[in-house]
Amino acid sequence: MIRQLYIVVSAIVFLVSLWMIFLWVPTEINQGVVQRILYVHVPFAWVSMVAIVAVAVYSVLFLATKNPKWDNFAQSFAEVGVVAAIVMLVSGIVWARPVWGVFWTGEAKLTTALILFFIYCAYLMFRSYFPAGATRNRIAAIIAVIGAIDSPIIYYAAQIWQQNHPRAVVGPLSTQESNLNPEMMITLLMCVLSVTLVFAGTVWIQIQSNKYHGAANA
């Protein structure tokens, strides 16, 4: 019952946010229609960040308690998180070109996001290439923890790096954050809500499915 209700609510929220993005929200003056990518980019960046934190937290929990449930949670968050990260990266690249004039720059946040995406990939790749079992789950959790410890260092290094390597092209977004008017803000919040709902639902399905497969081979 709860499940059906969840699907219906998410579907409604999702449709409403689509309507808001394409029909309701006014077009931003400086950037034009392209700015609407914001409503996709920000929510997915948000959920992939949630996923990173969740993977690290559940991995630590798993190492501390040895309860396979937390390992399953970490894996499921990583799997959905990596998809969210792809959406975030691609939408960001598509958006940067008309706004900044380049697809990619050496900006600290971008570098960190990309590297974290690779660490996610390595984590998942390790899980599928190492013989299944308790050892694999423990090492995977250790990799997640190492990744989590490494990420602030990466961000810091990328910031120092950026100081000597100024951005190639300076666009309107880079100098100052454009202020969102209330309608845009509401639309953005709605999109964050809808993507979060979809994300949580997907993670939940993934956990169930991994639990089922896990019973067979872990």
213 contributes a contact to another protein by CB under 8 A: no
Binding mask 108-147 for another protein (x = CB under 8 A): ---x---xx-xx-xx--xx--xxxxxxx--xx--xx--xx
State which of positions 85-114 bind another protein (CB under 8 A). 111
Q: Name the residue nearer to another protein (CB basis): 94 or 115.
A: 115
Closer CB to another protein, 28 or 150, in the complex: 150
* Number of residues engaging another protein in binding (CB under 8 A): 36
What's 35's DSSP letter? G
Burial class (CB within 10 angstroms; exposed 0-12, middle 13-18, buried 19+) of 47: buried
- Helical H segments across the chain, by residue range: 2-19, 38-65, 68-100, 108-129, 134-164, 172-175, 182-217
Single-letter amino acid code for the residue at 12: I
Q: Which is nearer to another protein, 90 or 142 (CB)?
A: 142
Nearest-angstrom CA–CA distance, 12 and 15: 5
CB of 140 to another protein, least distance (A): 10
Least separation, in Å, of the C-beta of 173 and another protein? 24
CA distance 192 to 166: 31
Closest CB 153 distance from another protein, rounded Å: 5
- Interface with another protein, residue 64, by CB under 8 A: no
Q: Contact between 61 and another protein (CB under 8 A)?
A: no
Closest CA to 32 of 173, 167, 168, 169: 173
Q: Which of 169, 168, 176, 166 is nearest to 30 (CA)?
A: 176
Residue 150 contacts another protein per CB under 8 A: yes
AA letter at 170: V
| 145 within 8 A of 59, measured Cβ to Cβ | yes
211 lines the binding site for another protein (CB under 8 A): no
Alpha helix stretches (DSSP H) within 101-133: 108-129
Positions touching another protein (CB under 8 A) are: 111, 115-116, 118-119, 121-122, 125-126, 129-135, 138-139, 142-143, 146-147, 149-150, 153-154, 156-158, 160-161, 163-164, 216-218
